Amino acid sequence: MLLLFLPAIFCKLRYIKIAQHLYMDSMKKRFVVIGASAASIAFITKLRSFDKESEITCLSGESYIPYNRCLLADYISDDISFGDMVLKTEDFFKQQNILLRLNTWVTQIDTKNNCVCIGDENIVYDYLFLGVGTRPFIPNIGAEDVKEGLFTFHTADDAKKLSHYIDQQKPSNVIVVGGGINGIECVSSLHSRHQAVGLIERSPQILPTQADQQVVHHLTRMMQQKSIALFMGQEVEKICTKQGKVTSVLLKSGSHLMTECVVLATGSTVNSDLLQDTGIATSHGSIVVDQCLKTNIDNVYAGGDVCTVQDMVTKKTVKSATWADAMLQGLCAATQFSQKPRLYPGYVGLRDSKFFEQDFYACGQTVDHDSDVESVILKQDSILHAFYIKENCLIGFVLLGDISKLADYKKIYLTQQSVTKKDFVLPTQ
């Protein structure tokens, strides 16, 4: 009797398997990710951790597998190899069945037809994640006429070319243009290679958007003690060349700085060209996203320094600008496709770096303070801590040197608990 029912049982099981297969196919989605930096890699990694079936294609204009841009200065210093900068190896993409296409520049995004264009090729998507990042800002100083001796400091390719040039050409000195965090890191890495370095900054001080005069004075003295030539309040008029090779930098003051090597660390520009005619909402060239990292177009998400986000403390709309924040955004965006979606909590504004063997952290509002802001400056040897208090709340701080209490200060800042200047002491006290 049982034998009579076996065909029916097997038939039913077969239909169940077919139904399961069709259900799984209906769950499969086509994800296209543009860019391969922090936000994109965090998005891909988190997505694949719970979705093993969907198609994921990552498009990168660079020729290198994804790496950590924050480590460029360490690479120049010869402290690490390129392998130490890598975020995910080629094996990761193969094992996770993720198609990584390098040297691939997207020429157009067609949000109406859900596809991206690479020349004559169209790649269709169900969901699109934009982690297109930024490119170096090149001031109008005749850079287009330079064939040898001029570098930017933004990508692994930039760092490799600069390092190779210094090894081969052995310039008598290097001039770095731009005194922000990126520029200071570059100066520090070159100095560690026993290279004579000069720094040009058009503002009256280094780190003009990161630190006030009291902090800057400490850093400036440190750099001068290391024989770094500082040209503050100076602006480059033109890079001078002979037969295409850098020979000097002409300042707007009329002075010539002789050099065979110039590095531009003059900031960056959002890669917003692709956003034209897409219908994706922007603000001052940056993509507007919600707490899910979703744009105004339902199946398009974005993360990293291409976005504007809300500051967690001030609630103001700001540009996303840190590596850690980009990673968090990519992760939160990916969870929107899981059973446990996670909202992006907001931008913390914690900027970290390391130069001249000193850790540097700046958090919150550290410049342009009103008269009602109380400053607490604590110094000891190479350590400097600065705290800024308004209405009994910590609105910003800078740590240089010892950062052992970073987590404590970050918590005080985020919770906006009541404090006084007596709550801040050096770790050694």
Q: What CATH number does residue 191 fall under?
A: 3.50.50.60
Within a domain: 104: yes
Torsional class of 240: left (φ above 0), alpha (ψ -120 to 50), beta (otherwise): beta
Within a domain: 347: no
Q: Are 85 and 75 in contact (CB under 8 A)?
A: yes
> Are 90 and 145 contained in the same domain?
no
Q: Which residues contact 193 (CB under 8 A, 6 or more apart)?
A: 76, 77, 78, 166
The boundaries of the domain holding residue 379 are 357-423
Q: Which residues contact 297 (CB under 8 A, 6 or more apart)?
A: 111, 278, 279, 280
CA 122 to CA 118: how far, in whole Å? 6
The number of angstroms, rounded, from the C-alpha of 265 to the middle of its chain's C-alpha atoms is 14
SS3 300: strand
Helix runs in 336-421, H state only = 406-415
> Are 285 and 382 contained in the same domain?
no
Q: What CATH number does residue 408 fall under?
A: 3.30.390.30
> Are 155 and 263 contained in the same domain?
yes
Q: In angstroms, how far apart are the furthest CA atoms of the chain?
A: 104
Beta bridge partners of 17: none
Number of Cα atoms under 13 Å in the Cβ half of residue 381: 6
Within a domain: 287: yes
> Are 126 and 151 contained in the same domain?
no
Within a domain: 346: no
How much is the pLDDT for 382? 86
**Of 279, 288, 250, 246, the residue nearest 263 (C-alpha):** 246
> Are 48 and 129 contained in the same domain?
yes
How much is the pLDDT for 429? 53
Q: Which pairs count as long-range contacts for 96-99, CB under 8 Å and 24+ apart, including other chains? A: 96/48, 96/56, 97/56, 98/44, 98/48, 98/56, 98/57, 98/58, 99/55, 99/56, 99/57, 99/58
> Are 225 and 173 contained in the same domain?
yes
> Are 321 and 361 contained in the same domain?
no
> Tell me, what DSSP letter sits at residue 209?
T
How much is the pLDDT for 73? 95
CA 219 to CA 364: how far, in whole Å? 19
Tell which of 267, 297, 320 closes a domain: 267
Q: Please state the φ and ψ torsions of residue 123, each to the nearest 5 degrees.
A: -115, 120
How much is the pLDDT for 25? 45
> Are 248 and 161 contained in the same domain?
yes
> Are 234 and 280 contained in the same domain?
no
Q: Which residues contact 350 (CB under 8 A, 6 or more apart)?
A: 322, 324, 361, 362, 363, 410
The two tokens of residue 306 are: 């291409």
The number of angstroms, rounded, from the C-alpha of 331 to the middle of its chain's C-alpha atoms is 15
Within a domain: 343: no
**Of 311, 312, 315, 274, the residue nearest 295 (C-alpha):** 274
How much is the pLDDT for 428? 64
> Are 129 and 142 contained in the same domain?
no
How many domains are there within the chain? 3
**Per-residue confidence in pLDDT tens, the chain, 429 aa:** 444 444 444 444 444 443 344 333 446 899 999 999 999 999 999 999 999 999 999 999 999 999 999 999 999 998 999 999 999 999 999 999 999 999 999 999 999 999 999 999 999 999 999 999 999 999 999 999 899 999 999 999 999 999 999 999 999 999 999 999 999 999 999 999 999 999 999 999 999 999 999 899 999 999 999 999 999 999 999 999 999 999 999 999 999 999 999 999 999 999 988 999 999 999 988 999 999 999 999 999 999 999 999 999 999 999 988 999 999 999 999 999 999 999 999 999 899 999 999 999 999 999 999 999 999 999 998 899 999 999 999 999 999 999 999 999 999 999 999 999 999 998 765
Tell which of 285, 305, 335 closes a domain: 335
> Are 167 and 74 contained in the same domain?
no
Within a domain: 380: yes
> Are 180 and 249 contained in the same domain?
yes
How much is the pLDDT for 255? 95
> How are beta strands 245-251 and 236-242 bridged, if at all?
antiparallel
